[in-house]
Chains A and B, each alone.
Chain A
Amino acid sequence: MDAPDRDVKPLPRAQSEVRPPLINLKPLNWFFDINRAMSLWPVTFGLACCAIEMMSVSMSRFDIARFGAEVFRPSVRQADLMMVTGTVNKKMAPALVRLYEQMPAPKFVMACGNCAISGGPFKFEGQYNVVEGVDQLVPVDIYVPGCPPRPEAILEGVFAIQEKITGRRWWPLPEELPPDPAPKSKK
């Protein structure tokens, strides 16, 4: 069954101009880029079940604070990173675009979960209310797959954004780490 004919509004697209820095020196940019990568403050912006994983990643087991990214700012003016955690429907799209446009540059977007990447389980013939991929609205830096992604995956997404900013990976991969010592048995 087809969706009934109606006036379909085109999706809003973020209009946000990023100018080059006023003082464009290479060592200065390198310095600021490292500092930006080390303090990515996310927006308090959760949409669906992936937001639960975003909360989990800031809690004691997976602690995103270790990498300086736990300062969830309620005001987008003070934030650097927007994690789009969950299904974006067409009702939400203008709000999301406005939030993105309100963020001061440099700003980064992480599409968390299958819904934000492509529509996920909501992509089927005749669906009329879900945005199939948040990259139709705002430019996305990193896609973190999963339904919902595990907290480790979200951490890995933060590392990928840090790598994208600075050009190198900062933290060792799991296979580069020394093996865990055997747990000591209590005597």
Chain B
Amino acid sequence: MELSIASFVQIFVAVLLIIGLMVGNAVVMVYFERKGAGFIQRRPGPYEVGPWGTIQAVCDSMKLLGKQIFVPGNVDWILYFAAPILAFFPVLLLFLPIPFGPYLTGLKVDDGILLILAFAGFGVISNILAGWASNNKFGLLGAARAVSQSIAYEIPMILALLAVVFLSGSLNLSEIVENQGSWPWQWNIFVQPLAFFIYLVSMVGETNRAPFDLPEAESELTAGFHTEYSCMGFALFFLSEYANMLLVSFVCATFFLGGWRGPFLDGFWWTFIKAYVLMLFIVWIRWTFPRVRFDQLLNLNWRWLLPLAIINLWITAVAIKFFD
């Protein structure tokens, strides 16, 4: 793809829209998360701030904006402030190759999933930077956990996606969507149910969400790597966490659930419906499952998900070789 003025303008507009999507997504998801927690625990959740508590998340973000900025003692303040920024900005790049609709794609590249998986590693760097730079033992322990967990869960995630890439014969996300049909039984989830399950588990592990939220295990590590971050630093970490959730949901919708293809009328609405159903699924399991122990987390990954993903990939390769 050559870089002309038109493609530059296209990327610029796409990044602007993605920033809007990230911020709007964080506001909506904070509301749904707290409301969902309320409904699951048989209480109303946010109710009084705005009609049905709808502007609760706006109030929270404004409050975080108005809180005192401070730097802990004996801290390298450049690294300390670089960490939340490094958590936030790479996510913008990750949304570029996602095909939201038939024409609604920021950047049509041939190796889109490679771009996403490569730059997703920046999140881990920002975590360890935050833990190291905040000069706090809980922060450092949380960062160490975040790194070991993210690296561990990236491998079965990549192997599960690779099985779909084998089927489609392309790393381009738009082509992967076009290879699936409009009706649910033509989606990849029915060809690759095991890969879908492995991806579903590792996407929760990858985004550090409960039941795998060990980097911020509150009972052991106060708040993990963002223990020392108060106002907008903490808000940026939260924003990037929700953006990462949205990203893995979009990737899941693209690879396994047919992307913008859906019954009756194809279009970008199907991508968004599928992604937000997956987001609500993540919220649901957060408030219903207890947190696992760290050895259980790593055992699940290395002893079950990884061998299953390799076997699944092998079977897929053999089936393609002999039956295609």
Query: Using an 8 Å CB-CB cutoff, how does the interface string of A58-85 with B read, 1 for contact, 0 for none?
Result: 0111010111101101110110100000
Q: How far is the CB of A82 from chain B (nearest CB, A)?
A: 15
Whether B170 sits at the interface, judged by CB under 8 Å, is no
Interface segment, one of A6-14, A31-39, A174-182: A31-39
Interface segment, one of B59-67, B251-259, B290-298: B59-67
B60 contacts A63, C-beta separation under 8 Å: no
User: Roughly how many angstroms separate A63 CA and B41 CA in the complex, as a whole number?
Assistant: 10
B48 contacts A66, C-beta separation under 8 Å: yes
A32 contacts B43, C-beta separation under 8 Å: no
Candidates B45, B66, B234; contact of A32 at CB < 8 Å: B66
What residues of chain A lie closer than 8 Å to B231, measured between beta carbons?
Answer: 104
B68 contacts A60, C-beta separation under 8 Å: no
User: Roughly how many angstroms separate A67 CA and B53 CA in the complex, as a whole number?
Assistant: 8
User: Roughly how many angstroms separate A110 CA and B228 CA in the complex, as a whole number?
Assistant: 23
User: Roughly how many angstroms separate A32 CA and B68 CA in the complex, as a whole number?
Assistant: 12
- Most chain-B CB neighbours within 10 Å: which of A67, A68, A80? A68
- Most chain-A CB neighbours within 10 Å: which of B34, B63, B227, B234? B63
* Given A31-B62, A63-B38, A105-B68, A77 and B43 contact (CB-CB distance below 8 Å): no
User: Roughly how many angstroms separate A34 CA and B63 CA in the complex, as a whole number?
Assistant: 9
* Given A74-B218, A75-B227, A68 and B59 contact (CB-CB distance below 8 Å): yes
Q: How far is the CB of A185 from chain B (nearest CB, A)?
A: 23
- Determine the main DSSP class of A at the interface with B: loop
- Determine the main DSSP class of B at the interface with A: loop
Whether A128 sits at the interface, judged by CB under 8 Å, is no
B43 contacts A60, C-beta separation under 8 Å: yes
B59 contacts A73, C-beta separation under 8 Å: no
Candidates A21, A32, A44, A67; contact of B48 at CB < 8 Å: A67
* Given A77-B230, A104-B67, A171 and B222 contact (CB-CB distance below 8 Å): no
Q: How far is the CB of B300 from chain A (nearest CB, A)?
A: 25
User: Roughly how many angstroms separate A175 CA and B226 CA in the complex, as a whole number?
Assistant: 44
User: Roughly how many angstroms separate A68 CA and B63 CA in the complex, as a whole number?
Assistant: 12
Query: Using an 8 Å CB-CB cutoff, how does the interface string of A97-111 with B read, 1 for contact, 0 for none?
Result: 000000011100000
Candidates B38, B69, B223; contact of A74 at CB < 8 Å: B223
B223 contacts A75, C-beta separation under 8 Å: yes
Whether B229 sits at the interface, judged by CB under 8 Å, is yes
Whether B112 sits at the interface, judged by CB under 8 Å, is no
Smallest CB gap from B30: residue in A: A71
How many residues belonging to B are interface residues under a CB distance threshold of 8 Å?
Answer: 36
Smallest CB gap from A19: residue in B: B68
Candidates A61, A65, A80; contact of B45 at CB < 8 Å: A65
B227 contacts A63, C-beta separation under 8 Å: no
Candidates A77, A170, A171; contact of B227 at CB < 8 Å: A77
What residues of chain A lie closer than 8 Å to B53, measured between beta carbons?
Answer: 66, 68
B47 contacts A78, C-beta separation under 8 Å: no
Q: How far is the CB of B281 from chain A (nearest CB, A)?
A: 22
What residues of chain B lie closer than 8 Å to A67, measured between beta carbons?
Answer: 47-49
Interface residues in A11-41 by Cβ distance below 8 A to B read: 21, 31-32, 34-36, 38-39
What residues of chain B lie closer than 8 Å to A34, measured between beta carbons?
Answer: 59
Query: Using an 8 Å CB-CB cutoff, how does the interface string of B68-108 with A read, 1 for contact, 0 for none?
Result: 11100000000000000000000000000000000000000
Whether B303 sits at the interface, judged by CB under 8 Å, is no
Whether B46 sits at the interface, judged by CB under 8 Å, is yes
Whether B321 sits at the interface, judged by CB under 8 Å, is no
User: Roughly how many angstroms separate A21 CA and B46 CA in the complex, as a whole number?
Assistant: 29
What residues of chain B lie closer than 8 Å to A74, measured between beta carbons?
Answer: 218-219, 222-223
* Given A60-B41, A63-B44, A77 and B228 contact (CB-CB distance below 8 Å): yes
Query: Using an 8 Å CB-CB cutoff, how does the interface string of A30-58 with B read, 1 for contact, 0 for none?
Result: 01101110110000100000000000000
- Sample 11 A-B pairs with CB under 8 A, ordered by A number: A32-B63, A32-B65, A32-B66, A38-B56, A38-B59, A59-B43, A65-B38, A67-B47, A75-B223, A77-B223, A105-B68
Could you list which residues of chain A lie within 8 angstroms of chain B, going by C-beta atoms? Answer: 21, 31-32, 34-36, 38-39, 44, 59-61, 63, 65-68, 70-71, 73-75, 77-78, 80, 104-106, 170-171
Question: When A and B form their complex, which 6 residue pairs have the shortest distance between CB atoms, in order from nearest?
Answer: A104-B68, A75-B223, A35-B62, A60-B43, A66-B47, A32-B66
